[in-house]
Structure 1
Amino acid sequence: MKLYSDPKIKEACGVFGIYSLSGEPAAESIYYGLSSLQHRGQESCGMAVCDTKGPKGNMNAHKGMGLVNEVFNEDILNTLQGNLGIGHVRYSTTGAASINNAQPLVLNYIKGTLALAHNGNLVNTRELREELVQTGAIFQTTTDSEVIAYHIAKERVHTHNVEEAILHTAGKIRGAYALVIASPRKLIGVRDPLGLKPLCLGRRDDAYILASESCALSAVGAEFIRDIRPGEIITITSEGITSNCHLCQTQHAHCIFEYIYFARLDSTLDGVNIYDARVKGGAALAAAYPADADLVVGVPDSGIPAAKGYSEASGIPFALAFYKNSYVGRTFIKPTQKERESSVRLKLNVLASVVNGKRIVLVDDSIVRGTTIAGLIRMLKGAGAKSVHVRISSPPFLYPCYFGTDVPSNKQLIASSHTSGEICSMIGADSLGYMKLEDLQLMTGDLSLCKACFDRQYPMDITGHTEEKIQ
């Protein structure tokens, strides 16, 4: 039976912004903030900074393909002078993987200079882009982020300040977005009204920080203040902080996969600690799908907290069964099955003395196409495991995501065309259990969630886009 190439589901981006009121340089803090958000995007990164006490329009930017420590060095950081700036790490879901699409985007327009970094994805990009094309706009990228930036620039001509232009633009765009925007004297954060994408506020002495996750605040020695409210536009200037909640609403739909996989373990999003959420998910799995086994193991790194929760709830001992080679760089999708399997072995190796002769519960966060988990099962059994019972801390992926998460066309999702029993046989497991849809709420308490990749209950109209991914 056919198995599919199975790279991990990826988040679109991470954003970071800082404004030091005392004039402390921003570039180094942006570097460390982006490094802590590297898990949200490894394709490209960049930053743009300006000196709020210097001439308006003095925005300096640098971006490139690769990891943060590959794109930036001390010499480059020294050229990026200024006390206000934003940064971005990217994995592409809209627009090709190229330097042209790296962010932040920097615009020089009639009202001055604007830099923008975006995490998310719009569902009405086509209409918004066509509106701009008809008025003569020439696009330099293929991203929806540029569409947002151009609409802000267009609105700015008719408004008193950039905040009004952003408010008018936010009223037109539909989809998921967390934005950090730098103008020569202001740092602005914007979160979509549903709260699909995370954004938080922190402070270090007299510097204010906006970031996708609280772990980025810790990385620069900042104190977490609060999450940006869904629909909120927050503006930081030398006068302090102002908040606009004209777009805030009572209906929210926080992305469940932030809690299953995307966010870093040491982050807290919208009041939910990520580590605790994943341990609770593992406990729910143990209650729903018990197994007669000797050890519970997790797939590094994402499956380990859920495996810990499964172990604690079931009473089956927890163990580390894989050695992860932390010195392997980025790997790309390989053209042949043999090469794909080799790349998995390069990153992970089984601790044979741990699993030999044991019945194993193997916990992972998801099955997208099936190849990775199948390879791990073969490795465990090759090392002497008597049986491997797979437990997945998310329900089956059945539908694509339109909001900036790389869940592909349903034709590429193994669960869309195969039953759990068929998948169990295809991957070589002795049993297979997925998280129950109704148990997801146990991970996040009262938080309102978007679970559309599991139940097709999209929180907004996606008419005109389904034909691209649902076939």
Structure 2
Amino acid sequence: MDPLTPMITTNPFDDDKLREECGIFGVSGAETASAMVALGLHALQHRGQEAAGITSWDGHDFHTHRAMGHVAGNFDRDEVIRGLPGDTACGHVRYSTTGETSLRNVQPLYAELNSGGFAVAHNGNISNAMKVRRELIRRGSIFQSTSDTEVIIHLVATSNYRTLLDKFIDALKQIEGAYSLIVMTPEGMIACRDPLGIRPLVMGKLGDSTIFASETVALDVVGADYVRSIDPGELVIVTKDGEMRSIRPFGEVHPRPCIFEHVYFSRPDSIIDNSSVYSVRKAIGAQLAIENPVEADYVIPVPDSGVPAAIGYAQESGIPFELGIIRSHYIGRTFIQPGDKVRHLGVKLKHNANRALIQGKRIVLIDDSIVRGTTSLKIVQMMREAGAAEVHMRIASPPTKHSCFYGVDTPERTKLLAHKLDIGGMQDFIHADSLAFISIDGLYKALGEAKRADIRPQYCDACFTGDYPTKLTDQDEAVVENQFELLAERVS
């Protein structure tokens, strides 16, 4: 690796779930913009629990407050909100996939450019960020963070185009991967989505205010009306005078939004592309029951993400739905420290068996996914210790065989259980009486498609299929570099 390029790291906390790494929220034209952003970030807390930040614009100056930890405790104090004046503000909640866990990587990122202040909040992952960063450093750019988002600021600053909007578009045309962005400048606010629409972004209205958010649930919290999703490849510009316009500077591309938003990432009370996430997850559970029936006494969700799919499975199969696992809501994701031994103990802090219900019963456990398999193993063991006669597991997504490079914290491919083992081997690993996953075609059917089209799939499903819809420049270069290192070791 080039010595000028810092190592891009991932977050050390892990409880065996895939993690969306960010949520973004922006408000233009509201008297209490920063307070509204804080409320919106509360609703998006599930998308990032490491850190949060808000930047506001009062017509003269930009103001920023960033902090490690949750929104609550950092942005629910009057003195913090008073320090973020203005009628325009944007905010960010973070769970890192690129960039170390430190305050310097907390967004929104802000810089003073020749055109004035520039703040950006980013949900996604730039898959050529390391290559672009290396080139910028060689040309003299000085980076203040290890976040991939900062390359956007430097590309804007060094663009030869005249207007800020043209500079921004020029920057976007040089990056690859997935991004939903909210940008603040003295001229107004810009919200945009990558040409494939991999990461979500929606627009709402509250009186004369325009609001952008990662999910519709954040609009609900502030009392705003949902207007529509930002289209893939679209830039929506809201001027400081409240005028709005939309431009589409990219060539037309077949969209590929992230399918896992429907399976796990988004809150069930959100709407994605006019579809209720809750209803889709129930439909996934129903399709799972059609494809993978089993005789049992109870359908039991692995809380909380498995609940809607379990309801759908129970309704389709006719097997009663019961809460056989009780989850503690007072254990945060970052409570469990690294290391398998402590992580395994942490499962019992989060989940406990409802022994009186489970004793002597045949149960079907419904979960959204299996990543490493460590949590599934412990939950099956918990059910057996509680006296279950049989433990069957059904998963509301296909096997996760591939890493994500689009803004999701995924283990290395070699650590994914489905990459190492077939379904029979996975069943043996978690000690279940049976294990089955919904098929990729079944997942598409639950989403309203007849099946996955091999030529033009409707979603990014690379974590299941390995079909990545964009270039993976940094990843490909890393693979080549690793091969050279291995060859050098053999020669020496």
TM score, norm. by length of structure 1: 0.94
Residue 74 of structure 1 deviates from its aligned partner by: 2.1
Question: CA–CA distance in 2 between the matches of 1:274 and 1:348?
Answer: 24
Q: Contact conserved, 1:179 with 1:189, CA < 8 A, in 2?
A: yes
Residue 163 of structure 1 deviates from its aligned partner by: 1.9
Matched, 1:27 2:30: no
Residue 47 of structure 1 deviates from its aligned partner by: 0.4
SS in 2 for 1:255: coil
Q: Contact conserved, 2:109 with 2:150, CA < 8 A, in 1?
A: yes
Matched, 1:452 2:462: yes
Question: CA–CA distance in 1 between the matches of 2:442 and 2:383?
Answer: 29
Question: CA–CA distance in 1 between the matches of 2:469 and 2:298?
Answer: 39
Q: Contact conserved, 2:130 with 2:474, CA < 8 A, in 1?
A: no
Residue number in structure 2 paired with 1:199: 201
Question: CA–CA distance in 2 between the matches of 1:167 and 1:463?
Answer: 20
Question: CA–CA distance in 2 between the matches of 1:192 and 1:454?
Answer: 21
Residue number in structure 2 paired with 1:170: 172
Aligned partner of 2:90 among 76, 86, 91: 86
Aligned partner of 2:421 among 411, 418, 423: 418
Q: Contact conserved, 2:195 with 2:233, CA < 8 A, in 1?
A: yes
Q: Contact conserved, 1:19 with 1:187, CA < 8 A, in 2?
A: yes
Q: Contact conserved, 2:372 with 2:416, CA < 8 A, in 1?
A: yes
Residue number in structure 1 paired with 2:116: 112
Aligned ranges 1:405-444 → 2 under 5 Å: 405-444=408-447
SS in 2 for 1:76: helix
Aligned ranges 1:48-447 → 2 under 5 Å: 48-52=55-59, 55=60, 58-72=61-75, 73-155=77-159, 158-160=161-163, 162-237=164-239, 238-247=241-250, 249-446=252-449
Question: CA–CA distance in 2 between the matches of 1:404 and 1:128?
Answer: 17
Question: CA–CA distance in 2 between the matches of 1:376 and 1:184?
Answer: 52
Residue 15 of structure 1 deviates from its aligned partner by: 0.5
Residue 325 of structure 1 deviates from its aligned partner by: 1.3
Q: Where in structure 1 do 4 or more consecutive aligned residues deviate above 6 Å?
A: none
Q: Look up the equivalent residue of 1:459 and give its one-letter code.
A: P
Question: CA–CA distance in 1 between the matches of 2:430 and 2:301?
Answer: 17
Q: Look up the equivalent residue of 1:421 and give its one-letter code.
A: G
Question: CA–CA distance in 2 between the matches of 1:286 and 1:402?
Answer: 31
Question: CA–CA distance in 1 between the matches of 2:242 and 2:181?
Answer: 21
Question: CA–CA distance in 1 between the matches of 2:439 and 2:118?
Answer: 45
Residue 333 of structure 1 deviates from its aligned partner by: 4.5
Question: CA–CA distance in 1 between the matches of 2:303 and 2:399?
Answer: 20
Matched, 1:38 2:23: no
SS in 1 for 2:223: coil
Moved more, 445-454 or 91-100: 445-454
Residue 154 of structure 1 deviates from its aligned partner by: 2.2
Residue number in structure 2 paired with 1:8: 17
Question: CA–CA distance in 2 between the matches of 1:467 and 1:377?
Answer: 40
Per-residue Cα deviation, 1:213-233 (whole angstroms, up to 9, x for no partner): 101100110000000000001
Residue number in structure 1 paired with 2:486: none
Residue 258 of structure 1 deviates from its aligned partner by: 0.4
Residue number in structure 1 paired with 2:471: 461
Question: CA–CA distance in 2 between the matches of 1:239 and 1:205?
Answer: 12
Question: CA–CA distance in 1 between the matches of 2:132 and 2:477?
Answer: 19
Q: Contact conserved, 2:97 with 2:408, CA < 8 A, in 1?
A: yes
Question: CA–CA distance in 1 between the matches of 2:263 and 2:142?
Answer: 39
Q: Contact conserved, 1:51 with 1:184, CA < 8 A, in 2?
A: no
Q: Contact conserved, 2:398 with 2:439, CA < 8 A, in 1?
A: yes
Q: Look up the equivalent residue of 1:199 and give its one-letter code.
A: L
Residue 332 of structure 1 deviates from its aligned partner by: 4.4
**Identity value in percent:** 42
SS in 1 for 2:189: strand
Residue 70 of structure 1 deviates from its aligned partner by: 2.6
Per-residue Cα deviation, 1:111-161 (whole angstroms, up to 9, x for no partner): 110100000011111232123112211001111100012212222x6322x
Residue 342 of structure 1 deviates from its aligned partner by: 2.2
Q: Contact conserved, 2:15 with 2:333, CA < 8 A, in 1?
A: no
Question: CA–CA distance in 1 between the matches of 2:91 and 2:321?
Answer: 39
CA 336–244 in structure 1, closer or farther in 2 if over 3 Å, else same: closer
How many residues are paired up? 459
CA 150–438 in structure 1, closer or farther in 2 if over 3 Å, else same: same
Per-residue Cα deviation, 1:430-456 (whole angstroms, up to 9, x for no partner): 000011111121232248101111111
CA 290–27 in structure 1, closer or farther in 2 if over 3 Å, else same: same
Question: CA–CA distance in 1 between the matches of 2:155 and 2:217?
Answer: 31
Q: Contact conserved, 1:266 with 1:273, CA < 8 A, in 2?
A: yes
Q: Look up the equivalent residue of 1:261 and give its one-letter code.
A: Y
CA 406–80 in structure 1, closer or farther in 2 if over 3 Å, else same: same
Question: CA–CA distance in 2 between the matches of 1:270 and 1:469?
Answer: 36
Per-residue Cα deviation, 1:142-194 (whole angstroms, up to 9, x for no partner): 11100012212222x6322x222221111111110000001123011010000
Q: Contact conserved, 2:176 with 2:471, CA < 8 A, in 1?
A: no
User: Tell me, which stretches of 5 or more residues in structure 2 are unaligned?
Assistant: 1-13, 450-456, 483-492
Q: Contact conserved, 1:15 with 1:117, CA < 8 A, in 2?
A: yes
Moved more, 124-133 or 277-286: 124-133
Q: Contact conserved, 1:331 with 1:343, CA < 8 A, in 2?
A: no
User: Tell me, which stretches of 5 or more residues in structure 1 are unaligned?
Assistant: none
SS in 1 for 2:288: helix
Q: Contact conserved, 1:409 with 1:468, CA < 8 A, in 2?
A: no
Residue 461 of structure 1 deviates from its aligned partner by: 2.2
Q: Contact conserved, 1:167 with 1:233, CA < 8 A, in 2?
A: no
